[in-house]
């Protein structure tokens, strides 16, 4: 098969890496790809992943059998719709299904209509009513830009003043059109957990649990980021919590196949959960693989990813059977100095090859490129995802940090406590 992966981050490198292992894969393309995907796929520079017609022309010109859409923006833009209408097998929901991520208001209405537990909220298009609701809920409170903001449109405000500033920032254009509508919601408490599922035909096949670290600095301090590290599975999740989360994912998947929310959902549904004292509640849905959750989930998937994705794309959910490696996976993100704020690019990266020869270690590239001399250089805020598999949680964590130590670039930034809380047990969140 000839396969095209749209996207150029760590998630897409992990997807391409997993697809490349399949005996069914012949030619593999990544558009645009990055400095790491070129080791498993042919990078395609200049193809606009959000332009459905441009992608379709590439598909026709290169006899592509399957298109895998990585990021959320092409999904919301309806790229899957254009390709499916032309008879192309696509892994990724249509534009209507992608509204579960593209509009937080739509997502909340979806949850409420289907009895899926979530936080109380208000959705606003004007400043004053939003500020009034902030005062009604009181601090701490969560402020979210309604639209796509690359994982950075959420502020967990510890004070009313911070919340008011966050609301004003959205309406003042900090997130462009994504902030023209603002959600204000109650702040839930407890550990967070992600549960992803392959969804097709209204059925959900859940993957392994994962837990991301959103804050920039140790101790869960600093601004929210796209994710600074993650592990799988999540040791603090109880059997009851897992059963509840799985049930919610199945309810959501079934709802995508029914009115009034019926859509052509063939891809990944990402459930972001808070494990509250009252039980798991959904914080958000995403319409694609998580980043960096994918980087620890796919290395533990023993089933051929091409088989799974084709079954999803062709609407054959009953043909999906998932088998998992019982090893633990830990990912530590190496970021550019200043991330998630301003940062410089073009810093030469050394030591990746040394890290990858270590037992159980894989390095997925996120923000990397090759300079004119062919050197690997930084090209984004999150630069590398250093992933290690181990027989125990502690072993996987130790391996990941050992590998991080041998990789260097100017301004390398990382958290030193990925997984530390979970290793200490559920009480660490109390």
Backbone phi, psi, residue 427, to 5°? -60, -20
Is 101 within a domain? no
Q: What CATH number does the domain containing 417 carry? A: 3.90.600.10
Domain that holds residue 229: 192-319
Verify that 152 and 220 share a domain, yes or no: no
Verify that 349 and 307 share a domain, yes or no: no
Is 265 within a domain? yes
Give yes or no for a cis peptide into 219 (omega within 30° of 0).
Answer: no
Verify that 254 and 306 share a domain, yes or no: yes
Q: How confident is the model at residue 154, as a pLDDT?
A: 87
Is 384 within a domain? yes
- Give the E-state strand segments of 201-348 in sequence order: 203-206, 211-212, 215-217, 221-224, 229-232, 267-276, 279-286, 328-335
Verify that 253 and 308 share a domain, yes or no: yes
Is residue 341 pLDDT above 70, yes or no?
yes
Q: What percent of the chain has pLDDT over 70?
A: 100
Verify that 303 and 263 share a domain, yes or no: yes
- Compute the distance between CA of residue 57 and CA of residue 252 in angstroms, rounded to an integer: 34
Render 343-367 in DSSP notation, one character per residue: -----B-B-HHHHHTSTTEEEEESS
CA distances from 87 to 7, 28, 66, 80, 398 (A): 21, 19, 11, 11, 47
Closest CA to 337 of 162, 217, 198: 217
Residue 395 pLDDT grade (very low, low, confident, very high; cuts 50, 70, 90): very high
Closest CA to 382 of 276, 237, 243, 224: 224
Is 104 within a domain? no
Is 72 within a domain? yes
Q: Which of 299, 319, 339 is the last residue of a domain?
A: 319
pLDDT in tens, 100-113: 999 999 999 999 99
Q: What CATH number does the domain containing 170 carry? A: 3.30.1490.20
Mean pLDDT, range 47-73, rounded to an integer = 97
Residue 21 pLDDT grade (very low, low, confident, very high; cuts 50, 70, 90): very high
Q: How confident is the model at residue 153, as a pLDDT?
A: 84
Verify that 13 and 70 share a domain, yes or no: yes
Is residue 219 pLDDT above 90, yes or no?
yes
| Entry pTM | 0.95
Mean pLDDT, range 262-266, rounded to an integer = 96
Verify that 347 and 408 share a domain, yes or no: yes
Q: Which of 186, 212, 235 is the last residue of a domain?
A: 186
Is 219 within a domain? yes
- Compute the distance between CA of residue 395 and CA of residue 414 in angstroms, rounded to an integer: 19
Beta bridge partners of 333: 385
Verify that 179 and 204 share a domain, yes or no: no
pLDDT in tens, 3-17: 999 999 999 999 999
Verify that 171 and 213 share a domain, yes or no: no
Q: How many distinct structural domains can be found in the chain?
A: 4
The half-sphere exposure of 274 on its side-chain side, counting CA atoms within 13 A, is 16
- Compute the distance between CA of residue 213 and CA of residue 364 in angstroms, rounded to an integer: 17
Residue 224 pLDDT grade (very low, low, confident, very high; cuts 50, 70, 90): confident
Taking phi first (over 0 means left), then psi (-120 to 50 degrees means alpha), and beta for anything else, what does residue 317 get? alpha
pLDDT in tens, 201-214: 999 999 999 999 99
Q: How confident is the model at residue 151, as a pLDDT?
A: 67
Compute how many other C-beta atoms are within 10 angstroms of the C-beta atom of residue 86: 13
Q: How confident is the model at residue 70, as a pLDDT?
A: 97
Verify that 289 and 345 share a domain, yes or no: no
Verify that 231 and 278 share a domain, yes or no: yes
Greatest Cα pair distance in the chain:
58
Q: What percent of the chain has pLDDT over 90?
A: 94
Verify that 6 and 85 share a domain, yes or no: yes
Q: How confident is the model at residue 86, as a pLDDT?
A: 98
Is 98 within a domain? no
Residue 305 pLDDT grade (very low, low, confident, very high; cuts 50, 70, 90): very high
- Compute the distance between CA of residue 374 and CA of residue 370 in angstroms, rounded to an integer: 5
Compute how many other C-beta atoms are within 10 angstroms of the C-beta atom of residue 20: 17
Is 297 within a domain? yes
Q: Which of 186, 211, 240 is the last residue of a domain?
A: 186
Is residue 248 pLDDT above 90, yes or no?
yes
Mean pLDDT, range 53-60, rounded to an integer = 98
Mean pLDDT, all residues of the chain:
96
DSSP alpha helix (H) spans, 283-383: 294-297, 305-313, 352-356
Q: Out of 4-13, 151-160, 304-313, pick the least confident.
A: 151-160
Q: What CATH number does the domain containing 72 carry? A: 3.40.50.20
């Amino acid at each position: 098969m000839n396969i095209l992966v749209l996207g150029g981050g760590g998630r897409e490198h992990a997807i391409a890496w997993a697809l490349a292992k399949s005996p069914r894969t012949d030619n593999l393309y990544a558009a645009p790809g990055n400095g790491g995907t070129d080791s498993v796929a042919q990078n395609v520079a200049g193809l606009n992943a959000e332009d459905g017609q441009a992608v379709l022309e590439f598909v026709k010109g290169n006899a592509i059998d399957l298109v895998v859409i990585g990021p959320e923006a092409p999904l919301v833009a309806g790229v899957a719709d254009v390709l499916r209408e032309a008879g192309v097998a696509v892994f990724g929901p249509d534009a209507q299904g992608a509204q579960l991520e593209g509009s937080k208001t739509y997502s909340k209405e979806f949850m409420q209509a289907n009895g899926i537990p979530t936080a109380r909220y208000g959705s606003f298009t004007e400043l004053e009513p939003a500020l009034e609701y902030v005062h009604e809920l009181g601090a701490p409170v969560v402020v979210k830009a309604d639209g796509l903001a690359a994982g950075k449109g959420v502020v967990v405000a510890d004070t009313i003043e911070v919340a008011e500033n966050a609301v004003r920032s959205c309406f003042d254009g900090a997130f462009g059109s994504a902030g023209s509508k603002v959600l204000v919601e109650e702040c839930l408490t407890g550990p967070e957990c992600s549960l992803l599922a392959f969804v097709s035909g209204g059925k959900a096949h859940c993957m392994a649990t994962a837990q991301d670290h959103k804050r920039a600095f140790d101790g869960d301090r600093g601004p929210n980021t796209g994710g600074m590290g993650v592990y799988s599975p999540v040791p603090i999740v109880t059997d009851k919590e897992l059963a509840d989360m799985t049930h919610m994912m199945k309810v959501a998947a079934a709802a995508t196949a029914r009115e009034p929310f019926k859509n052509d959902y063939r891809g990944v549904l990402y459930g972001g959960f808070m494990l509250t004292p009252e039980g798991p509640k959904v914080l958000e849905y995403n319409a694609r693989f998580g980043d960096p959750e994918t980087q620890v989930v796919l290395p533990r998937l023993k089933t051929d990813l091409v088989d799974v994705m084709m079954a999803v794309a062709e609407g054959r959910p009953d043909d999906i059977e998932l088998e998992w490696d019982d090893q633990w996976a830990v990912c530590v993100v190496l970021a550019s100095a200043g991330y998630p704020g301003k940062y410089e690019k073009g810093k030469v990266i050394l030591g990746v090859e040394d890290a990858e020869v270590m037992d159980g270690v894989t390095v997925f590239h996120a923000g990397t490129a090759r300079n004119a001399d062919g050197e690997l250089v930084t090209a984004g805020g999150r630069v590398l995802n250093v992933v290690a598999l181990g027989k125990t949680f502690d072993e996987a964590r130790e391996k990941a940090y050992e590998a991080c130590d041998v990789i260097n670039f100017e301004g390398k930034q990382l958290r030193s406590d990925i997984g530390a809380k979970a290793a200490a047990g559920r009480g660490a969140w109390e």
